[in-house]
Amino acid sequence: MGAQTDVLHLSRDEIEKIQLEGIKKTVVDCYENVPFYKKSFDDAGFNPYAVETLDDLKAAPFVTKQDLRDNYPYGMLARPLSEVKEIHMSSGTTGIATVGAYTEHDLQFWGDCFARGIRYAGGTADDVFHVCYGYGLFTGGLGAHYGGLSAGCTVIPMSSGSTERQLRVMRDMGSTIIACTPSYAMHLADVAIEKGMNPAQDFKLRAGILGAEPFSDNFRAELERKLGIKALDVYGLTELMGPGVAIECLEQKGLHIAEDHFYCEIIDPATGENLPDGEWGELVITTLDREASPVVRYRTRDITRILPGTCACGVTHRRIDRLHGRTDDMLVLRGVNVFPSQVEDVMETFPEVSSWYQIELTTKNSLDNVTLKVEINPDFDFDNIGAIEKLQAAIQKRLKEQLLIKINVRIVEPKSIARSEGKAKRVIDLRKGIYND
Amino acid sequence: MIKQITVFLENTEGRLAALTHTLRRANVNMHALTISETSDYGLVRIICDDPDAALAALRAEDFRATETNVSAIEVPNRPGGLADLLDTLASLNMNIEYGYCFSSKGDNAVDVFKISGHAHTAEATFKLEEAGFKALRQEDLA
């Protein structure tokens, strides 16, 4: 705990010294142990042995999600499997998942990073830490779990689902800090209220560390009021580690990056040029001491900015602002990352439907509700309600298999999906509480 | 055997009205119309005097419309009229996918059936005629 506290209050010079050392080690490690980096550094004329300043990293090429996919499953590993203790994967089909591998050291600092959020919330060994992120390949559940252990809390590994049981355990065990997606936290609050409880009083909850999807300030205010908590935003991604790359403190004015493990840059997504602090752009991250899956200049596609100035909480690690959207068309649905192209791939396997489709996102019981509207082809024999319903069910089943989330399929009339200049608007987002409402 | 037009309609206000306007413009006269609905959409089935014109007009206005052969059988307009017909169908091992009835003239009612499977419609109509029922033809409705 003492060492952790000290790390959070290092001077700028001390942090930058750690970062420079970490970058030097990481680029050489990548160059020598990962064929992908050897090639991409050589192609870009980037000499990993010549890095002398933080600025020198700007000469290194970017890494994209596609690069990681292309090297599935083990192509990006910088350590032999014998040193790898755990594997996580981003959502997606087997073929396009991205893999994160962790050595003992990697798991250790992952826990430390997430534990910072618990500490920001005032959490100690006396806290009962209730994890209702899904456990499994998704980094949410185990990442939070390791964070709880690292912070010394009593961890309750609830995983997601079974809302009534969640509420019972939360009340009976006296859970004080909760970790889940913001929409699930709202769902818990709403169900509790529906059951005649007043969660702000009946539960001992006082903080939530919420992430895996964006939520607006209004949504946060409502959640805090209903649950009687301070809701802290946590950022992370499987490609880098998982939740804990950056977490809000009680000031709620941006998320402190774990700057002793991650080096963050903001770039102009169109030109790739670095932007000064304060300007909005795409977040690019380099790991500083990740052993199994080191990453150099990963383009997150998340839009944020580095907040200038220091934080009133005293933590010296710089902050990123809360996310402001994406540079691509990725959707975050119930914490799962979905690209419209994945939906398109599924549609193409059904000759009965046309290529016009539309994804409509709404909020139902505080959770994302996804409806896919599709048009049937003229030659489909629809004079049979059974045939239409069978088709609906088949598409729904395949989407669930491929995308891991439930999508309601609705067959609609031809041309009822609006075309603008011949191109359909693929996604209609009517959800409440995303970004700013 | 006659032609039935089936139209796929979303459950939204005004869609059925739009369909009837299209048929009015095409000068199509309907003898029967039924709606089967689910929560999201409905199937509208139509018997009319000119199914080809109806189909062309509906498709031209972007309705998802299709033509299906159905059996239309005249039965005496009295108690047990339909029961007799159904008994005959059962004895011929013919299964009904859906059906509806309408009266055209005073003495007779017309029962419309979709027999399971496409090939069966012509066969079913023929066998019912053999059994003594009068099956309507498209000309009877024009």
* B66–A383 C-beta distance less than 8 A: yes
Query: Are B59 and A378 inside 8 Å of each other by CB?
Result: yes
Question: Quick one: A315 and A352 in the same domain?
Answer: no
CB distance A207 to A228 below 8 Å: no
Minimal C-alpha gap between A375 and chain B (Å)? 9
- Residue A436, domain member (yes or no): no
Query: The tokens of A330 are what?
Result: 């990725």
Say how many CB pairs under 8 Å bridge A and B: 46
In a domain, A212, yes or no: yes
Residues A93 and A199 in one domain: yes
Tell me which of A383, A384, A385 to substitute to probe the interface with B (most B C-beta atoms closer than 10 Å): A383
Number of independent structural domains in chain A: 2
State the pLDDT at residue A93: 47
DSSP classification of residue A308: P
Q: Of A269, A301, A328, which marks where a domain is finished?
A: A328
Q: Are residues A392 and A315 in the same domain?
A: no
The yes-or-no verdict on residue A436 having pLDDT over 70 is: no
**What are the angstrom distances between the C-alpha of B18 and each of A176, B21, B39, B41?**
58, 5, 20, 15
- Measured between alpha carbons, how far is residue A434 from residues A186, A204, A243, B43 in Å? 13, 27, 19, 37
Is the residue at A202 inside a domain? yes
Residues of A in contact with B8 (CB under 8 A): 376, 382, 388, 411, 413
Does residue A435 lie in a domain region? Answer: no
Examine the domain organization and report whether A324 and A350 are in the same domain: no
**Residue numbers in A near B43 (CB within 8 A):** 382-383, 385
Contact A53, A262 (CB under 8 A): no
Domain match, A175 and A307 both: yes
Per residue in B2-34, pLDDT (tens digit) is 999 999 998 888 999 999 999 999 999 999 999
Domain boundary among A276, A303, A328: A328
What is the average per-residue pLDDT within A413-419? 73
Evaluate whether the domain defined by B69-137 bears CATH number 3.30.1490.20: no
CA pair distance A76, A68, nearest whole angstrom = 7
pLDDT tens profile A281-290: 999 999 999 9
Residue of B nearest to A410 (CA): B40
ipTM above 0.90, yes or no: no
A344 and A256, same structural domain? no
Are A177 and A30 part of one and the same domain?
A: yes
* CATH entry 3.30.2130.10 includes domain B2-68: yes
Cα gap B38→B27, rounded to integer Å = 30
Question: Residue B37 contacts by C-beta under 8 Å, 6 or more apart in sequence?
Answer: B11, B43
Instruction: Say if residue A187 is in the same domain as residue A46.
Output: yes
pLDDT band of residue A94 (cuts 50, 70, 90) is very low
If you average pLDDT over residues A285-306, what whole number do you get? 97
Three-state DSSP class for residue A190: helix
Q: Are A253 and A367 members of one domain?
A: no
CA distance A162 to chain B (A): 27
Instruction: Give the closest of B10, B63, B66 to A412, CB-based.
Output: B10
Least confident of A224-238, A410-424, B126-140: A410-424
Q: With 80 as the cut, is the pLDDT of residue A408 above it?
A: yes
Judgement on whether residues A288 and A374 belong to the same structural domain of the protein: no
Residues of B in contact with A385 (CB under 8 A): 36, 38, 43
Work out the minimum CA distance from B78 to partner chain A, whole angstroms: 30
Residue span of the structural domain in which A377 resides: 333-429
Chain B nearest CA to A55, separation (Å): 57
Interval A21-42: pLDDT, tens: 999 999 999 999 999 999 999 9
Name chain A contacts of B66, Cβ cutoff 8 Å. 378, 381-383
End of a domain among A328, A361, A380?
Answer: A328
Contact across the interface for B43 and A378, Cβ inside 8 Å: no
Contacts of B55 in chain A (CB under 8 A): none
Q: Are the beta carbons of B8 and A382 separated by less than 8 Å? A: yes
Chain A residues whose beta carbon lies within 8 Å of the beta carbon of residue B10 = 412-413, 416
A110, A243: one domain? yes
Average pLDDT on A120-137 reads 96
Tell me, what CATH number does A343's domain have?
Answer: 3.30.300.30
pLDDT of residue B118: 55
Domain CATH for A119: 3.40.50.12780
Q: Could you count the other beta carbons within 10 Å of the beta carbon of residue B131?
A: 15
Q: Indicate whether A1 pLDDT > 50.
A: no
Of A109, A110, A186, A104, give the one whose Cα is nearest residue A141.
Answer: A110
Beta bridge partners of A119: none
Share of chain A above pLDDT 90, in %: 70
Mean pLDDT of all residues belonging to chain B: 88
Whether residue A437 is contained in a domain is answered as no
CA–CA min distance B76, chain A (Å)? 28
Do residues A235 and A360 share a domain? no
Do the domain assignments include residue A177?
A: yes
On chain B, the residues whose CB falls within 8 A of the CB of A376 are 8, 64
Pick A376's closest partner by Cβ from B38, B59, B64: B64
Q: Which of A25-29, A295-299, A338-342 has the lowest mean pLDDT?
A: A338-342
